[in-house]
Amino acid sequence: MHGVGATRAVWGRVLEPLAGGHTVTALDVPGFGDSPPAGPGFALDTVADAIADGLAAAGVPTPFTLVGHSLGGAVALTLAHLRPGAVDRLVLVAPAGLTPRPAWLADALGATASLLVPIRRLAGGPFVDHALARTLMLLGTVHDGGRMHPDDVRTIIGSSAQATRLREGVAAVAAADLRPLLARLPTPPGLIWGERDLVIPADGLEAVRALRPDIHARLLPGTGHVPMLEAPAAFAAALEAVLAAITAS
């Protein structure tokens, strides 16, 4: 499950290597991409239930492995809590929802994102083919936008065009405190983080370790908040390693 303002397309570079050993389903979180919203806002429980019901309707067998990035990590953790029998392995990628902010600040972050993300898409789109422009428009999101393929940058900035719950999603995960859910997971979770992540800094790993000393974690050097596009081969290898460690634990 993808992060805020993205769609299932963010996984495009890693689907093929993962599909060699797994049946992979990439989905649009409700309120993003082609998925309609689940309810009037972005209630994590409601969104998680809608996803679980949608996967069941699509014939995805349980229990399944669940991988969630950023906002999708918060939704994945919520789903694993609500439907424990449906999830056998959980991997969080730079997860949101573990550093709660006051309600006023969470709302402000949501409002800011709803303004800046579309501006980046509209203003930056015509210049994606230029390395310097890619660096500037993705500053803070990825470690080095200039080295990314223009098509991958188009994926990142273009996805927000289909986001109908951008403000609500950011506000919901910024205010959420999912640490109790993480602490109560019955099996050790996996964790992947870009070492240069500025959106959700990787030093949050230590806080996660304090809650779950049994966590299986991988830091990806030279990557920021979107490691599956910044370094897809390294991300796929890290995910395979984390899944193997969870299975063996």
User: How many CA atoms does the CB half-sphere of 161 hold within 13 Å?
Assistant: 11
- Is residue 51, in this structure, part of any structural domain at all? yes
Alpha carbon distance 180, 29 (integer Å): 23
Residue 41 pLDDT: 94
Q: What is the DSSP string of 42-109?
A: --HHHHHHHHHHHHHHTT--SSEEEEEETHHHHHHHHHHHH-GGGEEEEEEES-SSSS---HHHHHHH
Q: Which of 50-54, 123-127, 214-218, 232-236 has the lowest mean pLDDT?
A: 123-127
Average pLDDT, the chain: 95
- Is residue 221, in this structure, part of any structural domain at all? yes
- Is residue 2, in this structure, part of any structural domain at all? no
pLDDT tens readout for residues 208-237: 999 999 999 999 999 999 999 999 999 999
Residue 122: band (very low, low, confident or very high) from pLDDT cuts 50, 70, 90 = confident
Residue 163: band (very low, low, confident or very high) from pLDDT cuts 50, 70, 90 = very high
Residue 125 pLDDT: 82
Alpha carbon distance 218, 2 (integer Å): 18
Neighbours of 2 (CB within 10 A): 28
We report the CATH number of the domain holding residue 143 as: 3.40.50.1820
Neighbours of 85 (CB within 10 A): 7
The average pLDDT across 106-114 equals 94
Q: Give the helix ranges, DSSP H, for the chain.
A: 12-19, 44-57, 71-82, 103-124, 131-137, 150-158, 166-175, 179-184, 204-211, 227-230, 232-248
Number of domains in the chain: 1
- Is residue 158, in this structure, part of any structural domain at all? yes
Residue 126 pLDDT: 87
- Is residue 3, in this structure, part of any structural domain at all? no
- Is residue 92, in this structure, part of any structural domain at all? yes
Residue 124: band (very low, low, confident or very high) from pLDDT cuts 50, 70, 90 = confident
Q: Which domain holds residue 130?
A: 8-248
- Is residue 1, in this structure, part of any structural domain at all? no
- Is residue 236, in this structure, part of any structural domain at all? yes
